[in-house]
Structure formats: structure tokens, C-alpha cells
Chains A and B, each alone.
Chain A
């Protein structure tokens, strides 16, 4: 299987952690299971979870915590 891409379902602000004081949902290199929360997208103060739809041995984020994001923009890649 090839590397899978995770894209944002919505435009907004992307967060890698549940709150500013918390550790990230996933670090670069972490394994990922189907259904794992990998981040949040804030749309007009409304928070939507971004959930992994595939499992993988390692995740690699391509955007930073609290970056602006467009719908369809790449968030992370997951290695099989």
C-alpha cells in the first residue's frame, strides 16, 4: 500500500492538540489506527475532529499547530 494523505474536510484553523496545554494528538512518526483523532479544525469557533480513515506505521504532519487551512488542503501523510 502507498502513503495515504489526510486532507482537511473544512476551511478553518487546524490544531494538533486538544488544548494549548495538552500534548499533540499525534507526534510525527507515531503509528495511527483507524478512528484515531489526529487534529481539530476550528470553523467559526466550532471544533470538528479530524479522524484517521486508514491505519499506518507512521504519520507525518505537513502543517503546524494553529495554522490556517483550506478545505481539501493536505494535513498529514500516513505511511503504510
Chain B
């Protein structure tokens, strides 16, 4: 492999994870650290640390020039961007390569193409991946729009073409509502954005979020099956599983094959994720977007397939051909990941930085804890609240849930508020255990079980 020294252009638990992967491959690591992260676990583990600026991310981890210069000066020949920060910044990927280093991820052009929602939808459609049925761009004529809505099937969503932030969105359940809402939505869009252009899209009512892990070396492409990430709060994933539950084998095959077809159509290099909405009632899936980076929830895939995804992406960036064939990737059992955030679920998820007084981590062959924590560490207030992830593997989903319950009982983080009580309540919830969940499950559930006024949060379940 043509990589010997990796600059880790990220922080937190993923920086720790990348450090371990590099160590396994015998590579030297140089950790980027803001002034607030010099005592982080990642900085302690790395062979060398480079201070990349003051605490605010805009002045450190998000500063392209500074990060590239730091990597070069540290003598690194590759840069791992992690997730978030500059991980999907095409200009950063280009700048790393222009400076003579390998970017551990796809090319800047691939990031640019797949990061553009409209372009990515076109790529998906061309590769034969189902996209949410809709007007494929703006549609201004009411009669044509009404005919299209009838063809797609109600309910449909009417969205502002220039939009964002939910302005100008209407959901029409039948043709008469559609005829009434279309002009209203147009007027609202014109007032909000100076452009009354609209587009129309089918509403997937009880959607689950499933996503397929892909790996490619530019010539060969495999999937590592799918993850289920339907438990979300404010569009943030809270708990993830692999594989998706109660997914028919033919549906799974079609879903995973479609992700591979998409990857192949753009000559993808690296690890990526193709996200879908899945409608369990109709067993249809629809493309949402491609994430051109390692994801937070990658460990559940590693637990069921045995593939080390971070290692694979480093090897690919180092010029090695993908050593895995599709037949080498198999599903063994079930895995669940709980995101442990420094947030208080009983106080509307108010974040709370602070010093870790006690840390007890559950042990066992079926348990993995990826985190940035150590006793005495002060969690800084400047970054997101993810402290770590508890990942549990079981023979099947029921076994996994049982093991998860025990693992959560054995996890103790004292000094900051955490979302552990939320996960304890979810792990014993009847609907969660039965798999009766979709992307709209968690928020009303929280209203019921973790209302701020509730003096004994989680006790109801």
C-alpha cells in the first residue's frame, strides 16, 4: 500500500476509530486537534498531534487551507476526513490531492456530483435505482400538475422549487385538495422566495429509513448489506440496526443490487452509503441520497459482516484493489448501535458538557464501545454531543435486544447527562421489540415517555 502516515482531519470517537484502524495496518497517525482537543483520547492515542487552531470548528476543523497545510507539514501521505466537518467537502478532497497526498474517500468530482441532490437523483434514476415518484423538476401548470398527481397517487407533497425549511409545503390527499392547495403553495413560495415554482412528489407515509453500505475501488463494487435507521429525532439517527428487520430476501437483494449499480455507474472509489426510504406496506424502496463518507453507524455493518470498513477505505485509497468479492460478504446475526450523546432526554435533550467522573463500560465478545471518553476527561462544549456508541451483536434480533439490555445496564457514565436512559427505555419497549417502527415513531414516543414534566423519565415503559 502506498500510504505510510495518515493525518486524521477529525475529532471525537471517529478519530479514535480511525487511529485504531491505522494502528492495525501499521500506519503512523497524526491527529489534528483544536486547542480544545489537545487532551482528547484521539490526541493521546496518535503518534503525533498538530494543533490546528482555536476551539470553534470554523477556525480549526473546517479550515481547508489550514488542515491541508498541517497534514503536509506533518509529513503525512494521506488524509482521513472522518464524517462531518470536511468529509464531504469536494474542494478539500481536491486540495489534499493537489498537495500530493491521498484523500481517504472518493474523488472531489464524485463528492460534488453525489452531493448535489438533483444531480444525485438523476444518477440514481439512470442507474435504475427507484426514486420517489414526482414531477422531476418544476411544474407550473395546474392542469398538468393535477394529472401528474393523480398518476403518482395521493397523497402527494407540493413543494417550492426554490424552497427549503418547509416553507410552501402542502400535502394533498385527493384531487380537490390538490386543486385548492396548488395555487396557495405557489403564492406562499412566491412570497417567501420570489419564485412561485413548485414541484410535486409522492408522500411515503409510513417510511422506514434503510441504507446500503457500499465499497468500491473504481472498478469493482460490493455492498455490505443494509442498515435500519428509522429511530430518529429531528432527523438525527438515535439507534441503528443491521440488517433491516423483516426485509424480504428478494427486496433485500434488489435494494442492495441497486446500490451497487449506482456505485458502478459513477466508478465509485471508497466507502459510501446509499440511503433509501422503505415503504414496508408496498415493499417499495426509493432513493434519498448518497453519503460519500464513513457513517457514524458503520459498526453495525462491521458486526454482522466482519468487514472492517475503515481499514477497507484506507486500503482502497492506498491503491489496493478491493480484496472482497460479493460472496465474501455475508450476514451473521444482528447488531444494534445506540448513540450515547451528552444530552438529557428528560430535559428536551439539553446538551451538557462537563467532566467524566466515572466510566464503566460493559465487556464481552458481543459488545463494542466506540467512544471519546476516559475518566477525568472534560467534554468540551464546542462540538456535537456524541460521546460514543454502544454496539451489541446477537444471534438474531431478539437475542441482540436482550444482550443490549444487559450491556446498557453495565454502561455507566457519571459527570455529564447522557441518553443512556432513553436507550434503556427503547430496548424494552414492546413496539421497538416487535419492529413496529418507522421514521415518525420516536418523536411522539418521546412525548409520551420523556416529557420534560415527567418526574420519572422512562418509568412509564
Contact = CB atoms under 8 A, between A and B. Distances in A.
Interface string B30-62: 000001100000000000000000111011000
A44 B55 contact: no
Which of A12, A42, A44, A68 has the most B CB atoms < 10 Å from its CB? A44
A11 B351 CA distance: 11
B385 A44 contact: yes
Contacts of A45: 351, 383-385
A68 B351 contact: no
A44 B56 contact: no
B381 interface: yes
Interface string A33-59: 000000000111110000000000000
A56 to B, nearest CB: 28
Nearest to B55: A68
A67 B381 contact: no
Contact of B55 (A10, A13, A43, A46): A13
B53 to A, nearest CB: 11
Range, interface on chain A: 10 to 19
Interface string B153-195: 0000000000000000000000000000000000000000000
A11 B355 CA distance: 13
A49 to B, nearest CB: 14
Nearest to A67: B56
A66 interface: yes
Interface in B55-90: 55-56, 58-59
Contacts of B384: 44-45
Interface in A13-47: 13, 42-46
Interface in B123-137: none
A33 to B, nearest CB: 28
Interface string B100-118: 0000000000000000000
B351 A44 contact: yes
Given A43-B351, A46-B351, A11 B381 contact: yes
Contacts of B382: 12-13, 42, 44, 68
B36 A11 contact: no
Nearest to A66: B56
B355 to A, nearest CB: 12
A45 B59 CA distance: 16
A68 B53 CA distance: 12
Contacts of A44: 342-343, 351, 353, 381-385
B353 A13 contact: no
Interface string B258-282: 0000000000000000000000000
A8 to B, nearest CB: 10
B428 interface: no
A18 B56 CA distance: 16
Nearest to A12: B381
A14 to B, nearest CB: 9
A14 B384 CA distance: 16
Interface string B345-362: 000001101000000000
B307 to A, nearest CB: 31
Contacts of B385: 44-45
B225 to A, nearest CB: 31
26 contacts: A11-B380, A11-B381, A12-B381, A12-B382, A13-B55, A13-B56, A13-B382, A43-B351, A43-B381, A44-B343, A44-B353, A44-B382, A45-B351, A45-B383, A46-B350, A46-B351, A66-B56, A66-B58, A67-B54, A67-B56, A68-B35, A68-B36, A68-B54, A68-B55, A68-B56, A68-B382
Given A42-B382, A66-B59, A68-B55, 15 more contacts: A11-B380, A13-B382, A43-B353, A44-B343, A44-B351, A44-B381, A44-B383, A44-B385, A45-B351, A45-B383, A46-B351, A66-B56, A66-B58, A67-B54, A67-B56
Interface of A: 10-13, 42-46, 66-68
